[in-house]
Structure 1
Amino acid sequence: MTGPSSGAGAVTRRPSRLPSPMFVLRKCVAALLMLAFVVVVNFFLFRVLPGDPAKAFAPRGRNADPEALRELRDRLGLNDHWTVAFGKYVKSVLSGDLGVSFSQHAKVTDVIAERLWPTVLLSGTALVIAAVLGVWLGARAGWRQGSRFDKLSSNAAVTFYSMPEWLLGLVLLVFLNQYGIFPTRGMNDPRSTLPAWLDVLWHMVLPVTVLAVVYVAEYSLIMRSSILDERRADYLTTARAKGLRDDLVMRRHAMPNALLPSMTLFFLSMGFVVAGAITVETVFSWPGLGRLTYDALRGPDIPLLQGLFLVFSAGVIIMNLVADLLMPVLDPRVRAA
């Protein structure tokens, strides 16, 4: 009698490309623990901010009557002991209620939901453009190491990656504002005769350019480093020996493996898309979560700041979890490890 594996018709099972259930469970538990840690830090972090929210949001500001300020603090829960306030906060987070904004006089969840789409539109567009352009520039620079293109693109990438986003935005405003080519404030213009979608795209040109330039530099540097690690590999030498053109070797063989670090960066960057770019949105008065964060800090609007920080952190943690779960699928070496 022959074993099931010795016959001619034996079926060889291919290893699964999916991560093991235990691996998924470990990553999900780690993400939940990190989110719980964020909730704890989120509560205490904004309790130590300078300023008195009651005086900032009282009808008469700092000249308000002391009795009125005391009543306002009681109503806002600012006089509660930290243990009582922390218990209320955790209970509200678990129920999906992030409280009421001091400055917006509306539920924090509604305020954040209203500003979420402008931020996703702005940062998401810049991220997609930067990922495509940065990967192409980095791959070409790394494949032709030492060439004039490599030197120019690498030096430019290091320069722009080191430049603060708000500084680049201010430079564009100084040089372009005098010509009036592109709008420099807001998301749309009520006086515009353009269709609504085209007016929004026209207002996106400058802030998207600022964000994309910085993101392009990051992707270019990482992709260049990955290509340099792959370009001398044995499997590429074999591909060249088969008579394939050099550009074809890069596209078909080198780039799929070199893309893995850039893919990880892309998913991690998607988490920061929710956070948006606070400085860029502030410079260009873009009505997103970044500008909302800047306005909330001026209060300080504690419930709104806590809600924003929680949303930002949750976005990063979730996308980090997605990247961890996808990497074993994309790279067999991760499964083997």
Structure 2
Amino acid sequence: MSDLPMTAVATDLAEPPRRGRGSAAFVLRTLGGGLVSVGLIVVLGFFLFRVLPGDPVRWMTRDRPGNAEQLARLRAEFGLDRPLPAQFVDYLADVARGDLGTSYVYNRPVTEIILGRLGPTVLLTGSALVVAVALGLWLGSRAAWRHGSVFDRIATGTALVLWSVPTFWLGLIALMVFAVGLDLFPTGGMTSPGGVDGFLPAVLDVAHHLVLPCLTMVAVVYAQYLMVMRSSLLEEMAADYLTTARAKGLREDLVRRRHAVPNALLPTITIIFLHVGLVVAGAVTVETVFSWPGLGLLTYQALAVPDIPLLQGTLITLSVAVVLMNVLADLGYRLLDPRVRAS
């Protein structure tokens, strides 16, 4: 009889280290999976763009045709005359050093070019993500709370229609209506030709150019946040704690804001993390339509050559953003949900 309490105490004392080891193992598995994904992306980036049609050397000499000897000299300069396995080994060694190569078109380091275009992409996708998340969560919570109402049907129906519309088509429609037809916004670019004097006028000029591409991305993206929030809140609406909150005399708005919405946010937060990287990668179409000088437009321009080092660099950058957000989503979900930590 006296041995039983000691056994229970020993079991209790052994429990925290086991949970700590479980958390450490989960973090290591998640980080390891992310590193494996990045490695596969690096390998894919080498072979994917070497099957594209077109000759970079002939594109670079299109305005000044050269003879076969000159073309061969250029191929040797860029290493395109070497066997594919040798190019692959050099490519891996360069990536390991953080060197993404030199652009065929710009004749500058790819890393430098990408860093120069990263700011506009972060501005566009960051603005679109903030607006899409705020709009989706607000509409989703209200649509769920008024389940079956006219507001619910209109909000969900509109979101699903916009979600199914091709992004480039929606962008072109926005350009024709608001830029060409009504002349309310610029047709493209990030700033006005010649620039604007003064800090505040320059900020307003960028914001003016940002409106149409940002709203185009929001229209396509916000539906997923609305639907996830609506579904999560519908599952919470029958919970006992909401009945208790109503029994205390709280108004419906307070019950929704203080009790239902916070508990329904967890799946939505996970979706937000998972889709941050995808939003960045999805900027290619919007930036191309609106001539927004970011990574998306850079990728489109590099495809026309094809500028292989630049394409490899943009693929790695955009893909690593997706992988990083997925890793953060997995880690954040375990941190925010006690049920996951206990499993």
TM-score, scaled relative to structure 2: 0.90
Residues 19 and 329, structure 1, Cα contact 8 Å, conserved in 2: no
Could you tell me which residue of structure 2 aligns to residue 87 of structure 1?
Answer: 89
- Judge which range, 16-25 or 325-334, deviates more: 16-25
Aligned to 1:104: 106
Tell me which residue corresponds to 2:187.
184
Equivalences for residues 142-221 of structure 1 within 5 A: 142-176=144-178, 177-189=180-192, 190=194, 192=196, 195-221=201-227
Residue 322 of structure 1 corresponds to 328
CA distance in 2 between counterparts of 1:17 and 1:332 reads 14
Partner of 2:13: none
Give the length in aligned residue pairs: 330
CA RMSD, Structure 1 to Structure 2 (Å): 2.4
Return the offset for 1:257.
2.0
Q: What are the Cα deviations for residues 276-296 of structure 1, in whole angstroms up to 9, with x where unaligned?
A: 511111111100000000000
Answer whether contact 2:302 2:311 (CA < 8 A) is retained. Answer: yes
Q: 1:166-199: CA deviations, max 9, x gaps? A: 1111111111213221112110012546721111
Alpha carbons 2:195, 2:202 under 8 Å: kept: no
Tell me: CA distance 1:17–1:256, structure 2 relative to 1, closer, same or farther (3 Å).
farther
Q: In the TM superposition, what whole-angstrom CA distance separates every residue of 1:255-285 from its partner, at most 9, and x where no partner exists?
A: 1121112111211222234435111111111
What residue number does 1:135 align with?
A: 137
Aligned counterpart for 1:335 among listed residues 312, 319, 341: 341
Deviation >3 Å, runs of 4+: 15-19, 191-194
Q: Distance in 1 between matches of 2:58 and 2:219?
A: 41
Contact map agreement 1:17 1:329 (CA 8 A) in 2:
no
Separation in 2 of the partners of 1:122 and 1:171?
19
Bigger mean CA deviation after superposition, 274-283 or 201-210: 274-283
Correspondence 1:118 to 2:124: no
Find the aligned partners of 2:222 and 2:60 in 1 and give their Cα distance.
41
- How far 1:336 moved relative to its partner? 2.4
Counterpart contact for 1:134–1:218, Cα < 8 Å:
yes
Larger helix share, 1 or 2? 2
What residue in structure 2 maps to residue 9 of structure 1?
none
Between the aligned partners of 1:273 and 1:100, the Cα distance in structure 2 is 27
How far is the alpha carbon of 1:239 from its aligned partner?
2.2
Q: Work out which of the residue numbers 254, 260, 264 in structure 1 matches 2:266.
A: 260
* Matched position secondary structure for 2:181: coil
- Taking only the aligned residue pairs, the percentage that are identical comes to 51
CA distance in 1: counterparts of 2:117 and 2:326, whole angstroms:
23
Q: Does 1:34 align with 2:37?
A: yes
What 5-or-longer segments of structure 2 have no aligned partner?
Answer: 10-15
Mean CA deviation greater in 48-57 or 105-114: 48-57
Report the Cα distance in structure 2 between the residues aligned to 1:36 and 1:237, rounded to whole angstroms. Answer: 51
Q: Deviations over 1:58-107 (max 9, x none)?
A: 2646x431111111111111121111011001000000000000111100
Counterpart Cα distance in 2 of 1:142 and 1:18: 40
- 1:278 partnered with 2:287: no
Q: Deviations over 1:194-244 (max 9, x none)?
A: 721111111101111111112222211121111112211222222222322
Using the TM superposition, give the Cα deviation of residue 144 of structure 1 relative to its aligned residue in structure 2, in angstroms. 0.9
**Partner SS state of residue 105, structure 2:** coil
Q: What one-letter code is carried by the residue in structure 2 that aligns with 1:317?
A: V
* Residue 239 (str. 1) matches residue 245 (str. 2): yes
TM-score normalized by structure 1?
0.92
Structure 1 spans left out of the alignment, 5+ residues: 7-12
